[in-house]
Homo-oligomer: A and B are copies of this chain.
């Protein structure tokens, strides 16, 4: 009657691989060995090895030299972790006074240690936020995820009125300085901007914020800001 071979819960390594594939593949889609290796700072040979195990476990479809994509089970496991990660980041920022650029690293470890019980109680305490501090949508318990309606700030045109939707916080954790800079200037999700100039020549984007302050953002900064068109009725 009881399941003979009880599957152990995914280890943190397994979880991080599944999550990496999800992020690289954009939800569906496929991820190559090298991409995964780079993202996880691990040797390609280690990835090949792990992909074999993930296949056994039913988390990925994988044939050699073909790259890997998530199965439905893998996708759900990834979303479970993403939900935890983003809820934890929200908690760290709002309740523990962490700064914007520090939350990711801590969440990256904690996401593997908390229970489902902890996660849902935390969600309740935070009053079921829809987005994390970076503006990323938080998956629901059932694995559903709000579609991404944002586009890069660089793709806007002069005169447009937009809302900062999210700020990319790449994987390496090496773009902390960017987050610090943007955070100090109030260029955070929810902030309203008017695009002044998008200069193709040097990739500089000039924006004006709600307080009338003008910001000239170089390519690196501009590329990490994602916006959506401002509509009077926006922002839940």
Contact = CB atoms under 8 A, between A and B. Distances in A.
A115 B106 contact: yes
Contacts of A112: 113
A205 to B, nearest CB: 34
Chain A binding site: helix, strand, loop or mixed by DSSP?
Answer: helix
A96 B121 contact: yes
Contact of A117 (B106, B114, B122, B124): B106
Nearest to A110: B113
A147 interface: no
A19 to B, nearest CB: 16
A81 to B, nearest CB: 14
Contact of A96 (B92, B97, B98, B118): B118
Contacts of A109: 113-115
A60 to B, nearest CB: 25
Contacts of A96: 118, 121-122, 125
Q: 8 nearest interchain CB pairs?
A: A113-B113, A96-B121, A109-B113, A110-B113, A106-B118, A97-B121, A106-B115, A96-B125
